[in-house]
Amino acid sequence: MVVTIYHNPRCSKSRQTLALLEARGIEPRVVEYLKTPPDRATIAALLRKLGLPASELVRRKEPEFAALGLGAPGTTEDMLIDAMAAHPRLMERPVVVVGRKARLGRPPEAVLDLLQ
């Protein structure tokens, strides 16, 4: 089983999720998405695997969210995906991927069903 985590080592939930995986003997492929940002196609694929709209993966409290006007009426899913690709800090973390499914590690235990 290949497990990938989109990880930000400065984020406590991301660190907790990584530790949870490692405690279960899983050595995931770690993608530090701020150093290696996912492109638009990868973000779109993650959203499909998560079964979420882009509006649920975007971090609304980041300065870029307001600066780009992403809270304005008429903001589309495509606009949010483009913004996350251009400004990876806007992407919620961590995201854990196993095969065709993914989970947002908020709380970290939310990823456990992927491991069964």
Q: d(Cα 30, Cα 111) in Å, to the nearest integer?
A: 15
Asked whether the beta carbons of 4 and 96 are under 8 A apart, the reply is yes
Structure tokens at 16: 């907790």
Catalytic residues: 11
What is the average pLDDT value for the chain, to the nearest integer?
Answer: 97
Asked whether the beta carbons of 83 and 63 are under 8 A apart, the reply is no
Asked whether the beta carbons of 28 and 21 are under 8 A apart, the reply is yes
Strand (E) or helix (H) holding 104: strand 101-104
Whether 33 has a pLDDT exceeding 90, the answer reads yes
Section 29-47 average pLDDT: 98
pTM: 0.95
Q: What is the pLDDT of residue 103?
A: 98
> Which one-letter amino acid corresponds to residue 60?
R
Full residue range of the structural domain in which residue 85 is found: 3-115
Q: Which residues face 91 on adjacent strands?
A: 58
Listed in sequence order, the DSSP H helices in 1-116 are: 12-23, 40-50, 63-67, 77-86
Per-residue pLDDT band for 1 (boundaries 50, 70, 90) equals: confident
Domain of residue 30, CATH code = 3.40.30.10
Query: How many domains are there within the chain?
Result: 1
Condensed to tens digits (0 to 9), the pLDDT of residues 87-111 reads 999 999 999 999 999 999 999 999 9
Quick one: how far is CA 11 from the chain centroid? 12
Condensed to tens digits (0 to 9), the pLDDT of residues 60-78 reads 999 999 999 999 999 999 9
